[in-house]
Structure 1
Amino acid sequence: MPLTNEARGVFPIAPTPFLPSGEIDWASVDRLFDFYREIGADGLTVLGIMGEAPKLEAEESVALVKRCIARVGNLPVIVGVSAPGFAAMRALARTAMDLGAAGVMIAPPSSLRTDDQIVTYYAQAVEAIGADVPFVIQDYPLTLSVVMTPGVIRRIVMDNPSCVMLKHEDWPGLEKISTLRRFEADGSMRPISILCGNGGLFLDFEMERGADGANTGYAFPEMLIDAVRLQARGERDAAHDIFDAHLPLLRYEQQPGIGLAVRKYVMMRRGILASDAQRKPGARLSEAAVAEIDYLLRRLADRDPRAAGLV
């Protein structure tokens, strides 16, 4: 089913498993997608920034999308199609949709600076991929260096009916969520789904500001699911309790440069990935970093049994 503005819950960002040789580890790919389905994810995103998408060949990207869709059953799959040029974006977007993807995610290039440039870029992207393809705006100024004001997001949403979701990764960004929901309330912007990124670092309060869930990665995505569902049921303290238990590891994983290495290491320790390898270029953890992560896992195990037995 195509992605709509009613999307809710947790759509984990999948890392791409690699062998130490740099080849895609297809056995771990299958295990990873099975894991996301089994823990109750509401959807999935592949070929995101933390999926090392720019390091993949075009044929590998298509193969990964095909494998994911075949493996996760009826879960909606969002495919990151950001590319330097619209031809490559269109090719991957149309192929992904033909394979059964629910929608695509588009990040703005870092060269955009003015509001009009940003709005025009998304209009051109829609023209390239087709107005029939549901798309997600990726708003990640910390990494992409493109600042989107709530007003710019409103313009993109109102100009492009195929825009159904915002991946909100601004930081600080709580006020942005509140502003966008006010736009919807006063009728100046049609409703969209807002799923949040940034590794879930502010998910506890993002949900309270009106977010619909998370579209991000973390080595324990079950926690993200717990927090979102507890908040949806009005169990505020319980949601904050499970979030707070994971916050030290969540914070550690958010370090620029080594965040993906941390995530893959923990997922390897959990038996989800066979290796924590990244395709070059990629950061590696020092012995000191590994010892710190193991310490955090031991402490987490005291509050969440899902971390027990990892170290």
Structure 2
Amino acid sequence: MSYPTEVTITEVCPRDGFQSLPEVIPTEEKVVYINRLIECGFKQIEVTSFVHPKAIPQLSDANAVLTKIKRVQGVKFRALVPNLKGLERAIEANVDKVKLMLSATDSHSLSNANTTTFEAMKGFEKLVKAAEDSLVHVGGSISVAFGCPYEGIVPIERHIEICKRYEELGIKDISLADTTGMANPVKIKTVVSKLKSQFPDFNFSLHLHNTRGMAFANSVAGLETGIKDFDSAVAGLGGCPYAPNASGNIATEDMVHGFEEMGIRTGIHLDNVMKIGSELKERFPDESNSFILKAGKCSDLSISPKEQVKIGE
């Protein structure tokens, strides 16, 4: 099995991670975290979401955050938008890319966006038209793509119909999200392979949650189907507020470490990511889920028992 020599990892902790925390992180602290993440080498960071402040108060300062973070050439800022108002705010805040919020099933869509899947997609027509006169790139998403907590398995026909409608809108950059960690490597390969075959000019990415400990295995399955773009969150923070038992994203340090050990370049400075992750883990221990922060890197060596005896003599 051959793997790509390099991949792109988008850091989503400032949005997906912070939105699930039990407290609101002050704007200035968010700015510091994002600026530090830029220094880790990320070329794309999902910095916030332009949802109604009452829906997710943790991200009510979206405009202020984008005003204060530093802009670095070659680094793109992405935001999640649910509707036309959110898009207008994102354009005003000068984001580089927006990701449309969409659920694969009606049950999750009604819970998350108070509308059915295809009704939501009809509303996307206005968003796409409004974005035409801006520099903002519009990408799509499919949440609960590998399993819905309300409806179970999502038929591939459903995904194909969603992608057809995205194609009609001119959107070919699609994030497939395992929102509640119901995926497994076989399911990843099956869904991704069929979609890539049906839509060869689409760019599919994976947004994986580690709810059942399958996220890294699923990311490798993604590699094996040609996926080169992944989302992750420092310290494994995150979780959908509108999905039962949802837990964090795959930890960025776990994904970077794993890929680099496999000989796949990420362009991310792992030690710097781990420093940020350690701080977040200490601050939010119940929300953190990271193997590397617990066990350390494979390259971290310990003193052997025999050497310990010699030192003690």
| Alpha-carbon distance change, 122 to 102 in structure 1, aligned in 2, over 3 angstroms | farther
Q: How far did residue 276 of structure 1 move? A: 2.8
1:75 match: 75
1:106 match: 100
After superposition, where does 1:143-222 map in structure 2 within 5 Å?
A: 145=150, 148-160=154-166, 161-169=170-178, 171-183=182-194, 186-187=197-198, 190-199=201-210, 200-201=215-216, 202-219=218-235, 221-222=252-253
| Alpha-carbon distance change, 228 to 21 in structure 1, aligned in 2, over 3 angstroms | closer
The one-letter code of the counterpart of 2:30 is V
Is contact 1:140-1:168 (8 Å) kept? yes
The one-letter code of the counterpart of 2:232 is T
Normalising by structure 1, report the TM-score.
0.59
Please say if 1:224 is aligned against 2:225. Answer: no
Is contact 2:206-2:219 (8 Å) kept? no
Larger radius of gyration: 2
Q: What fraction of aligned residue pairs are identical, expressed as a percent?
A: 9
Q: Deviations over 1:113-143 (max 9, x none)?
A: 499x965134223124224451221322667
Instruction: Give the whole-Å Cα distance in 2 for the aligned partners of 1:162 and 1:190.
Output: 11
Instruction: Give the whole-Å Cα distance in 1 for the aligned partners of 2:256 and 2:44.
Output: 11
Q: Deviations over 1:16-54 (max 9, x none)?
A: 669x99554234323321232222223111336xxx994
1:300 match: 295
After superposition, where does 1:226-265 map in structure 2 within 5 Å?
A: 226-228=257-259, 235=263
Q: How far did residue 112 of structure 1 move? A: 0.8
Matched residue SS, 1:196? strand
1:135 match: 139
Aligned pairs, number? 244
2:283 match: 276
Q: How far did residue 158 of structure 1 move? A: 2.3
Instruction: Give the whole-Å Cα distance in 2 for the aligned partners of 1:168 and 1:109.
Output: 9
Is contact 2:192-2:222 (8 Å) kept? no
Is contact 2:14-2:46 (8 Å) kept? no
Instruction: Give the whole-Å Cα distance in 1 for the aligned partners of 2:191 and 2:22.
Output: 45
Q: In proportion to residue count, which structure has more helix? A: 1
Q: Which runs of 5+ in 2 are unaligned?
A: 1-6, 110-114, 132-136, 236-250, 267-273, 301-313
1:125 match: 123
The one-letter code of the counterpart of 1:46 is V
Matched residue SS, 1:270? helix
| Alpha-carbon distance change, 182 to 93 in structure 1, aligned in 2, over 3 angstroms | same
C-alpha RMSD of matched pairs (Å): 4.5
Q: Which runs of 5+ in 1 are unaligned?
A: 1-7, 83-88, 240-265, 278-283, 306-311
2:243 match: none
Is contact 2:9-2:231 (8 Å) kept? yes
Is contact 1:195-1:215 (8 Å) kept? yes
Q: Which moved more, 1:22-31 or 1:154-163?
A: 22-31
Q: Deviations over 1:221-263 (max 9, x none)?
A: 24423444665xxx38x99xxxxxxxxxxxxxxxxxxxxxxxx
Instruction: Give the whole-Å Cα distance in 1 for the aligned partners of 2:79 and 2:117.
Output: 21
Is contact 1:157-1:190 (8 Å) kept? no
1:14 match: 13
Is contact 1:184-1:190 (8 Å) kept? no
